[in-house]
Amino acid sequence: MLKKKRGQITVFIIIGLIILMTYFLLSYYKKETIEERELINPEFIPVQQYVERCTEDLARDAVDIVGLNGGYIYFPNWVEADPDSYLKQGPMKEFKNPYWWYSGKSAIPPLDFISKQISDYTEAGMENCLNNFSAFGNVYDIINLGDFNVITDIGEDDITVTTVYPIEIRDKFNKTLAKLQKYMIIVPIRLKKVHKLAGEIMNRENKDFFIEKKVIDLMSLDDKNIPTVGIEVKCGTKRWLTQKVEDKLKQLMSVNFPYIKISKTDYNPNSIITPYQLQNTNPYSKNNLYNESYYYYHYIWDVSEASYPTTHVTFSYDPKWDIKLYARPNNGKYLESNAQKGSQMLSLFCLQMWHFTYDVIFPVKVTLVDDQTSKNERYTFNFAFKSQINHNQPDRTDFAITNFETSDTYLEEEYCADRVNEVKISAKNRITGDNIAKVNITFICGRYECNMGQTVSDWDSGGIPYLKTRFPYCSNAIIRGSRSGYDEGQTFIQTGRLLGTNPEDNIGGSFSFEMAPVAYFNYTVVKHNLINNGVSGAKRLGENEKAMITIRNKEQNFESYAPYPLEDIEEQTELKLLSGKSFTYILEIYVMGNETIKGGYINQWTVTQVTTRLNKNITFHVVEKDADTEDEQYAFLGGLGGYSKLVPLPEAR
């Protein structure tokens, strides 16, 4: 009995020692974390806080962009070179969502890749933000002792961003007062948690084909508008317009995708839904509640063993997004049934039979919202992927892994130096048709980007400028041309062996593309308040107001976008217009304030050749109304085209 008690005491002692050691270890790590923030004299804390504030502002911007672009801030060459590799979300080239799966390739950005993106963005903006410590110029002389180095750690519950930037603080008598090096901030956002759930959704989609199966169901349930298999006793060909079939599928996806829910996440089972889209009544209940609907039994998707009780997940498809739909058999723009004569009892009737299979490729956007808690801020993360249906079946063939290294200098130089086939490239002025000299030619194949040289005049051929040189092998490459005074131009080319030729033959070719001549302008936006049937005098936009200018010419397939004011733009932006002759544009300007559209301008605008040659500044006028209600504001925006005629046309000088 005594031995048994001694054994029990020994166990309790061991447990106590483990608890004690755990306490000391936690205390040690906590102390280490606290000590990462350097202890300095109180009088120098403003300098330390100044660097930390810049770090936090830039890091938060980076985290927001990561959420908008599916984990990216800077886009790799394989994204820039392939318009099919990302979901375009607006006119600004900085906002696009690279697909996490497309064309048989998986491209989920890992956390260490995202960490580096945040660090690179923060590091790139630090110098401008600090502005050489000009805010302390009257008090101290601050000397930098090294370069910026930003380290980002995406933890379970937050993001730690540390800027390492050694500086020395001196008084006006050149006496060293202090030295600082580390500046650490914490962004209370659970990016790691959201990224984990997003990755689980993408991985399960690649295994379950959940989205494709829902779309196949939608097509089957709406056989009236999207024909699959059928038979009808009727003479005369039964016909469907392919474009209407595509439009109907877009509508079905747009309306039904938002009802897809992820189990163990936050959604309201008692929410009101619109009536079931494919029939007039709900087959499960007379009430339009989610948990009594078709969706509750078919649209809840179990993707993870973990629970995410504060995270909302939404799936969406916008009918404006691109979709590739091919139906077989088809008669050009129509799908048609096959007429067959019946036999015996049906000899007097015609039988119309059809059996169509579809190939469909379409994008899907997933939005994850992690709600605010007492310890964390609300955060939104978007990612996109392509779904693929092949002959009415889900398809994930040719699965491959994308390399996330954004550059590999040695391999890129090696590829660009391995030139095989001779190719001739020329760039033409879209307005005059003349060949353009001194155009910089860039060759892009996948993630490789090669500078090939410039188009130069060949005086042996009458002075016509072109570039003729050997190119690396690529079966589907992009040629991009740039030159000051012209809009960028590009075309797809093939530098590899053509089909039907001997594999040993070196096949070249001649390719050309057009470049539109443009003129660049500085610009200003001023506003006029709508008062009764007139407008007030011009005044500057409000402090929190921003404008987006859109200029289009459909004949030349030309679009130009410009934000205002420019203080929020990282790079200097100039407005560009076509030059060489007079052009008429559709001009649209919208003014945003407090996340609502407050005013704008819609009208045709003709710009003469003289204007583009002699003027460099444009003032745009917009009309704004202080509405008391939303209905009043909607009515104003609905009549914006008419109100725009009350303010002056754009003024060039």
- Over residues 302-331, the mean pLDDT reads 92
Confidence of residue 476 (pLDDT cuts 50, 70, 90): low
pLDDT bin (cut points 50, 70, 90) of residue 341 is very low
What's the pLDDT at 62?
96
Q: How much is the pLDDT for 507?
A: 52
> What is the per-residue pLDDT for 334?
87
Q: What is the pLDDT of residue 247?
A: 94
Higher per-residue confidence, 403 vs 301: 301
pLDDT of residue 310: 94
| Cα separations in angstroms, 109 against 70, 106, 367, 403 | 8, 9, 16, 10
Asked if the model's pLDDT at residue 281 lies above 50, the reply is: no
Please give the radius of gyration of the chain, using alpha carbons only, rounded to the nearest integer.
Answer: 31
Instruction: Concatenate the DSSP letters of all residues of 338-358 into one string.
Output: EEEE--GGGTTSEEEEEE-EE
Give pLDDT, residue 434.
Answer: 93
Q: How does residue 503 score in pLDDT terms, banded at 50, 70 and 90?
A: very low
Query: What confidence category does residue 630 fall into, taking pLDDT thresholds of 50, 70 and 90?
Result: confident
E strand residue ranges, 208-337 = 229-233, 239-241, 261-262, 300-301, 311-316, 324-328, 334-336
List the single range of 5-14, 155-164, 273-282 with lowest mean pLDDT.
5-14
Q: How confident is the model at residue 482 (pLDDT cuts 50, 70, 90)?
A: very high
Confidence of residue 451 (pLDDT cuts 50, 70, 90): very high
Average pLDDT over residues 327-351: 61
Chain-centroid distance of CA 369 in Å reads 17
Residue 142 has pLDDT above 90, yes or no: no
Peptide bond into 565 cis (omega under 30): yes
Measured CA to CA, the distance from residue 590 to residue 599 in angstroms comes to 6
Task: Fill in the amino acid letter for 615.
Answer: N
pLDDT at 43 over 70: yes
Confidence (pLDDT) at 475: 64
- For residues 208-215, average pLDDT: 94
Question: Other C-beta atoms within 10 Å of 279: how many?
Answer: 11
Q: How far apart are CA 216 and CA 219, in angstroms?
A: 5
164 compared with 178, residue with greater pLDDT: 164
Q: What are the pLDDT digits (tens) for 457-466?
A: 988 777 899 9
Contact 59, 187 (CB under 8 A): yes
Q: Give residue 498's pLDDT band: very low, low, confident or very high (50, 70, 90).
A: very low
pTM above 0.85, yes or no: no
The helix or strand, by DSSP H or E, that contains position 68, with its residue range, turns out to be helix 45-68
pLDDT of res. 31? 38
305-327: buried (b, 16+ CB within 10 Å) or exposed (e) per residue? Answer: eeebebbbbbbbbeeebeeebeb
Tell me the percentage of the chain whose pLDDT exceeds 70: 82
Taking residues 226-234, report their average pLDDT: 76
Q: Say what percent of the chain tops pLDDT 90.
A: 47
| pLDDT tens per residue, range 88-126 | 876 666 678 999 998 888 899 999 999 999 999 999 999
pLDDT band at 4 (very low <50, low <70, confident <90, very high): very low
The predicted model gives 308-332 an average pLDDT of 90
- Confidence band for 375, pLDDT divided at 50, 70 and 90: very high
Helix ranges restricted to H, 162-310: 191-208, 210-221, 242-256, 294-298
What is the C-alpha end-to-end distance of the chain, expressed in Å?
104
Q: Which of 47-51, 258-262, 564-568, 626-630 has the highest mean pLDDT?
A: 258-262
Which pLDDT score is estimated for 204?
Answer: 95
Query: What is the average per-residue pLDDT within 515-543?
Result: 91
Q: Is the peptide bond before 329 cis (omega within 30 degrees of 0)?
A: yes
Answer with the residue of higher pLDDT: 635 or 378. 378
Distance separating alpha carbons of residues 184 and 260, to the nearest angstrom = 40
Which of 138-147, 345-354, 521-530, 621-630 has the weakest average pLDDT?
A: 345-354
pLDDT at residue 403 in the model = 41
C-alpha 493/C-alpha 510 separation (Å) is: 9
Q: Is the pLDDT of residue 568 over 70?
A: no
Tally of CB atoms within 10 A around 554: 10
**Predicted confidence (pLDDT) at residue 504 exceeds the cutoff of 90:** no
Q: State the Cα–Cα distance between residues 455 and 427, nearest whole angstrom.
A: 8
* From 3-7, 77-81, 445-449, the region with the lowest mean pLDDT: 3-7
Is residue 494 within 8 A of residue 503, CB to CB? The reply is: no
Mean model confidence pLDDT for the chain: 83
What pLDDT sits at residue 381? 97
Question: Does residue 539 surpass a pLDDT of 90?
Answer: yes
Q: Which residue has the higher pLDDT, 504 or 212?
A: 212
Residue 39, pLDDT score: 59
Type of residue numbered 43 = E
Stretch 556-582: mean pLDDT, rounded? 78
